[in-house]
Amino acid sequence: MQQRQNHTASPSRTPAKNDPLAVQAVLIGLTLLFFAGFIFMPLALVFSQALSKGWQLYIDAIREPVALEAVKLTLLTASIVVPINAVFGVTAAWAISKFSFKGKTLLVSLLDLPFAVSPVIAGLIFVLLLGSRTPFGSWLGDHGIKIIFATPGIVIATLFITFPFVARELIPLMESQGREEEEAAITLGAGGWRLFRMITLPNIGWGLMYGMVLCTARSIGEFGAVSVVSGHIRGMTNTIPLHVEILYSEYNYTASFAVASILVFLALVTIGVKTALEQRLEGSHNTRH
């Protein structure tokens, strides 16, 4: 249930008769006002709060061992989740875009399910499935495997949350590209793997990267689901967003915003990469309707 990926198309022509300049000025002014209040003020606040007690405290808050552990766990989670969901995304997009079969519409809407589920519920389902209270969870516990309130739980919940990103990006892209190129390659005697590597992968490269960027951003920033399954053991099962919350609830605002500024920085990088990729992606979409 994400936004439908429409790579911001800038119209080639502006309407011959555009709105009067006065109307334009008022509407642009209102837009700027909204952005100032809802987008730029919060961003500025993060840095002003983070640096309110000087650079030294800022750096100390980030270099604190517990904060570094949180960074490590977050990066570990993203490095497991993103490749797994990328492989799935490519596989699902291949099946859905290159073949016709019964129940395709249903399958595509099932892929979107995680977007419709509250993050808290996303965490809850894994507690219900794998927690020590359940038969399966207690069996795992007897064999020394702890999933809920431990790192594997965070990874699994994040897998669920970021499940649709790559597939959602690739399905429309591969559908618009059709299957002629691949069919020609097969007719010319190319094997499956060779076909994928030489034809499909270069065609979907930018789209795949775009999906992976969105997937990475979400897996780093996920809060609700991870909060349910983490059990909040400081320095053990804290991701960066959870660490931000703990510091904030301890009234340690400066440190909280200092750690949050890492996430803001990553969000800005995500926006930059996203914008750059969108321009390239416009070329990959084959507009044959």
- Establish if 222 lies at the interface with another protein (CB under 8 A): yes
**CB of 122 vs another protein, minimal distance in Å:** 8
- Establish if 59 lies at the interface with another protein (CB under 8 A): no
Q: Residues binding another protein: what is the number (CB under 8 A)?
A: 105
- Establish if 46 lies at the interface with another protein (CB under 8 A): yes
- Establish if 195 lies at the interface with another protein (CB under 8 A): yes
Window contacting another protein (CB under 8 A); options: 13-21, 56-64, 144-152, 280-288: 13-21
- Establish if 117 lies at the interface with another protein (CB under 8 A): yes
- Pick from 50, 80, 155, 163 the residue near another protein by CB under 8 A: 163
- Establish if 76 lies at the interface with another protein (CB under 8 A): no
- Pick from 179, 203, 280, 286 the residue near another protein by CB under 8 A: 179
Window contacting another protein (CB under 8 A); options: 34-42, 56-64, 65-73, 138-146: 34-42
- Pick from 237, 241, 255, 284 the residue near another protein by CB under 8 A: 241
Q: How far is CA 260 from CA 46, 66, 71, 136, in A?
A: 7, 14, 11, 36
- Establish if 36 lies at the interface with another protein (CB under 8 A): no
**CB of 69 vs another protein, minimal distance in Å:** 17
- Pick from 77, 80, 126, 258 the residue near another protein by CB under 8 A: 126
Footprint on residues 83-102 left by another protein (CB under 8 A):
88, 91-92, 94-96, 98-99, 101-102
- Pick from 30, 59, 198, 201 the residue near another protein by CB under 8 A: 30
Footprint on residues 242-281 left by another protein (CB under 8 A):
242, 244-245, 248, 253, 256-257, 260, 263-264, 267-268, 270-272, 274-275
- Establish if 211 lies at the interface with another protein (CB under 8 A): no
SS3 string, 11-73, reads CCCCCCCCCCHHHHHHHHHHHHHHHHHHHHHHHHHHHHHHCCCHHHHHHHHHHCHHHHHHHHH
